[in-house]
Amino acid sequence: MWLEADEPAKTFGILMSPCSNRKPQLVVMQGKAKAWADQIQPSFFHCYDVLPLLCTTIQETLEYPMALTFFSPQEWDQILSPVLRAALPKADICGNFPHAMVYTLISLQGVGVPYPYGLQVIKQTWSDLDSLSIHLEFDSPSLQPMRQGDQLLVDLFIDSLVDQLTLK
């Protein structure tokens, strides 16, 4: 079967086309998000169970194609709006809560939902670095052990010449 350059084909579970037509994948992801929201809407959950559920189910589903696709922050808002509209009220959070606070860390008085656009940039950066065989290294800060005879794990790893590939 012959496809045009802008027609996507499903590869590794992701709709991709040679000319980077991302609209079909956007529609698929919006459908998955809406289906999740429709399932969660009539269900009963304790308010403290909803956000971990969101982060371990639909968030993981939407993270899968992140290394190979690129969506703008506005497109991510389109994808996640039905999810947040369904999940936030179930978590006893106002459904119109600002997205900036939804994606802010709990330690900074936010809700703590991972920001998908930021995750996408990080995943693509790591994918690019890995494909170019670039490994990041850093010098560990000089920390003092708390007790006599203690050793720092980071220093032990460095002294043993353990690299990042071995730790995977």
Q: Dig out the tokens for 100 from the structure.
A: 């900036």
- 92 domain-assigned: yes
Q: Does residue 17 carry a pLDDT above 70?
A: no
Q: Dig out the tokens for 102 from the structure.
A: 């939804």
Measured in whole angstroms, how far is the alpha carbon of residue 147 from the centre of its chain? 39
- 144 domain-assigned: no
- 105 domain-assigned: yes
Q: Does residue 38 carry a pLDDT above 70?
A: yes
pLDDT band at 141 (very low <50, low <70, confident <90, very high): low
Predicted pLDDT at 77: 92
- 119 domain-assigned: yes
Q: Does residue 75 carry a pLDDT above 90?
A: yes
pLDDT band at 80 (very low <50, low <70, confident <90, very high): very high
Domain count, the chain: 1
With left for phi above 0 and alpha for psi between -120 and 50, is residue 109 left, alpha or beta? left
- 49 domain-assigned: yes
Q: Does residue 127 carry a pLDDT above 80?
A: yes
Q: Does residue 155 carry a pLDDT above 80?
A: no
- 154 domain-assigned: no
Q: Which residue segment(s) compose the domain that 118 sits in?
A: 9-139
DSSP-based three-state secondary structure for 110: coil
Task: Tell me the per-residue pLDDT of 144-153, one tens digit each, with 9 for 90 and over.
Answer: 778 888 877 7
C-alpha dist (Å) from residue 98 to 38, 74, 81, 88, 130:
22, 14, 12, 11, 35
Predicted pLDDT at 8: 66
- 164 domain-assigned: no
Predicted pLDDT at 88: 92
